[in-house]
Amino acid sequence: MSFPRKEYPKAEGKKPWSLAEAKTKLAAYCAYQERCQEEVRTKLAERKIFGEDAENLIVLMIEEGFLNEERFAKAYARGKFNLNHWGRNKIQQELKWRKISAYCIKQAMKEIDGEEYWQTIVKLAARKSKAVKEKSDLALRYKTSAYLISRGFEPDLVEEALNEVIPK
């Protein structure tokens, strides 16, 4: 599967950074919250720093511990699951879009507790099935499962959760 190439934002009205200024600004940018390399590249492109200069700054941020893809992936997965109630499929897709390696994605998925994951699916299924105004059980199951799958939960787990929440 191919992902669309991300367009860099226009740098209109933004003053280009010198390399020394970029180093301190990037350190603050990465220290504020976990970032991935693609976000840093985008930030540098906004300030008209490209190519070898950008890559050297990224390497410097990695060496100084400001930038770590695995740490970013783990924090991203935990946050999106705990706060936004996203499923594994959606989290993995977003991490792939951010050009995170398969190894880091695999490590990030280990951050999601299996029992907590199941409880979240059941809770969301129950909440959605109560909110849907359908008389037919088939339509209710369809709309609830479509909602959960769109949130990134696996179809087989969604089916099991629906069997628990909406008995056949």
Per-residue pLDDT band for 4 (boundaries 50, 70, 90) equals low
Judged against a pLDDT cut of 50, whether residue 1 lies above it is answered with no
* Structure confidence at residue 10 (pLDDT): 55
* Structure confidence at residue 13 (pLDDT): 61
DSSP 70: H
Q: Check residues 15 and 126 and name the one with the higher pLDDT.
A: 126
What's the pLDDT tens digit per position in 33-91? Answer: 999 999 999 999 999 888 999 999 999 999 999 999 999 999 999 999 999 999 999 99
- 39 neighbors 98 (Cβ within 8 angstroms): yes
- Cα distance between residue 41 and residue 37, in whole Å: 6
Q: Name the percent of the chain lying above pLDDT 90.
A: 79
What's the pLDDT tens digit per position in 113-131? Answer: 999 999 999 999 999 999 9
* Structure confidence at residue 18 (pLDDT): 84
* Structure confidence at residue 12 (pLDDT): 58
Rg of the chain (C-alpha set): 21
